[in-house]
Amino acid sequence: MANSLRSFQNEIDEIAHREVVKQRAAGHAKIEHEKEKDTKKPVVKTAVKAPAKEKPAAVKSPAKAGDKPADTPTADVLPKTDEKPGENTAIQNEARPADPLPYEPEVQVDLTVTEEEIQGLLLSDTPTNHDRARDLIASILTQGRGEHIFRIGARPQHAKLFSGEPIVEGDNAGGTIRTVEEIDTLKEKITEIVDEVGGKTTVLFEERTTMPRISLLLRLPPPSVALTPEVRCAVVGNVDSGKSTTLGVLTRGALDDGRGRARVSLFRHKHEVESGRTSSVGMEILGFGPSGAPILPSTSQSNDPDVMRREKMSWEEISIQASKIVSFIDLAGHERYLKTTLYGLTSGSPSCVILIVGGNAGLIGMSKEHLAIALALSVPVVVCITKIDMTPANILAETIKQVTKILKSPGCRKTPVFVKSMEVAIEVSQVFAKERWVHNLPSEFAGLCPVIQLSNVTGEGLDYVRTFLNLLPASEGDKDKFVADQPLEYCVTEVWSVPYVGTVVDGILNAGRIKTGDAVLIGPDSNGNFQGTSVKSIQRKRASVNSAEAGQCVSLALKRMRRAAVRKGMVIVHKTDAGPPQAIRRFEGQVLILYHNTTLQRNYQAMLHCGAIRQTVRIVSMDHPQGVLRTGDRATVTFEFISQPEYIKEGMKLLFREGKTKGLGVITRLL
């Protein structure tokens, strides 16, 4: 079954990739067609648009470290509420200043070769070489979206580093061997150059005895909140494994008292406080400053639960100060809330899944279910073993042995990497989510899974967790998932009715860009139709912005839109002459039945999860010779939505579940 699942995942990944390539080609053709129409417009409109096409000054001259970006628009920037949807939209879009676009270099450079060239230039005495090195450092910062880990000296072999063996002379797998004096000189000169361009240099790791080497974090403060890199992490695990406590310690700063004090400030409902169990999809953020230090409230050392719950930093305060934001999707661990957990994993588009395992209990209950779902969705996994302060040594050893055995099993095929040093935390954060590793990493290390042991009471291991999270690549930088130069596609994951604002939706931009005042379509409704509206205002992490691009999670206030007319799973697209997209009632998909205790037949109903869509579907037909499906069977199945049509695309992955029945698949044809 494990080999069948692995081969099936490879097949659906190929199908998804092929369909994405087709859709992006069609998207480019659509954009080019729109541009051709724009060229036929009167010259007056073209002249108004010209200033918006200029490169932003923020990319050329980054702000000095510590400067607070001014991103909050004034009241006159927002459209007036008495305007009709779409009225004067073109004028609003052209007159309103948009946020500068992210760092997008025209030429990609080999970072390893560039680092060596920079070091050679800085160690020479020629003045022109200093200017050349400055240009190269600015180039790699631009390519890294304002962030880069600069390594000086010999680089140890990843295979030996990740296995936990001590590093000795001769274990270098790359880089130039440097003396301690050369390392100090290079560190000083690089710090000076980064300071010149408005950035901050921080020493992440330093070794001055065996194989002298150092890792520096070079980081530029983002010009605005709209450009702050974000990493989305889903936190899962069994009941009482320590999920909410871990997030409370990470985001609030104060250690736990061993009785759950740190988690109280995270609960959203009264019954959660009373039961001590999370029942909803919670969202917490952790900001990191230019130096890589976590942004924590001033009362982070307080032991008073009331103070911890009351005196916490707002998301807007964190966003304005942060150079990187880590968003935690806190998911429920109880079996009765599995549907909510599934929705959070499929709709949140996380960069990684943090699986919390209690050291005293091991990988039990819903932890195995959550791990299986993460593997089925092909999301990288990080394991955190908590409660090591209260777990006896023999029990902790059994837990570690069990976790290692499960990760190495044919069903997982993961290589556990135990993070017990800062250098391992730094290096594994850069390579664990990639399919092919750099620095000649052996093939047996494909599918790395970092394992971090920590205590929320003593604080042991928390520094490794914070460093690991601080260095994770931004979610919006994943070009396989998110592309900005495509038609707008915004997926609605949450809906609210805010007093004096109106209907507000939260979601992720899967493609394209959106600005305040844009005329858009939202749907499909129960009849498959799309309604016209416009974007009144945009917020990112509760801070007002003027625009957003693919990969970002933002909230939109919609003009003249009733709360009852909007639901989760809807999409927002731009108004075009081609008309709204088509809503689908029936579709065909390649599926693999992961488990079913009897047989699946026609008219069988199950809950389907596909992105932010969560709806009951019915099996209309299947191409299996016997006309029934059992555990391990693969087939082409035709599904039908029960309640209402949805906006889906070929190549989207799907997961359906009913009781203990689970199935995985990909959409291959729309009917």
The rounded distance, in Å, linking the Cα atoms of 244 and 618 is 36
Residue range 136-145: average pLDDT? Answer: 88
Start-to-end CA span in the chain (Å): 31
Residue range 354-372: average pLDDT? Answer: 89
pLDDT higher for 97 or 348? Answer: 348
Residue 514's pLDDT is 95
For 635-644, the pLDDT digits (tens) are: 999 999 999 9
Work out the pLDDT band at 50, boundaries 50, 70, 90.
Answer: very low
Residue range 584-600: average pLDDT? Answer: 92
Q: Given the DSSP bridges, would you call strands 415-418 and 448-453 parallel, antiparallel or unpaired?
A: parallel
pLDDT higher for 645 or 79? Answer: 645
The rounded distance, in Å, linking the Cα atoms of 68 and 483 is 28
Residues 6+ positions from 219 with CB-CB distance below 8 Å: 146, 147, 148, 199, 200, 202, 290, 291, 292, 323, 324
**Is the pLDDT at 381 greater than 90, yes or no?**
yes
SS3 content of the chain, % helix, strand, coil (to 5): 35, 25, 40
In percent, how much of the chain has pLDDT > 70? 80
Residue 326's pLDDT is 94
Assess contact for 207 and 178: CB atoms under 8 A: no
**Is the pLDDT at 296 greater than 90, yes or no?**
no
Residue 267's pLDDT is 53
**Is the pLDDT at 187 greater than 90, yes or no?**
yes
**Is the pLDDT at 488 greater than 60, yes or no?**
yes
Q: Which helix (H) or strand (E) holds 536?
A: strand 531-540
Q: Which helix (H) or strand (E) holds 339?
A: helix 338-347
pLDDT higher for 487 or 264? Answer: 487
The rounded distance, in Å, linking the Cα atoms of 397 and 418 is 13
Residue range 59-84: average pLDDT? Answer: 40
Residue 449's pLDDT is 92
For 304-316, the pLDDT digits (tens) are: 666 655 567 888 8
**Is the pLDDT at 220 greater than 80, yes or no?**
yes
Domains, the chain, with CATH or none: 2-22+584-670 (2.40.30.10), 111-143+147-219 (no CATH), 230-473 (3.40.50.300), 489-574 (2.40.30.10)
pLDDT higher for 520 or 46? Answer: 520
> Of 14-18, 91-95, 233-237, 455-459, where does mean pLDDT reach its minimum?
91-95
Mean pLDDT of the chain: 81
The rounded distance, in Å, linking the Cα atoms of 262 and 455 is 12
Hey, what are 468's tokens?
């690991």
Assess contact for 387 and 427: CB atoms under 8 A: no
Residue 21 half-sphere exposure, CB side, CA atoms within 13 Å? 6
> Of 261-275, 464-478, 523-537, where does mean pLDDT reach its minimum?
261-275
Quote the pTM value: 0.83
Phi, psi (5° rounding) for residue 196? -65, -35
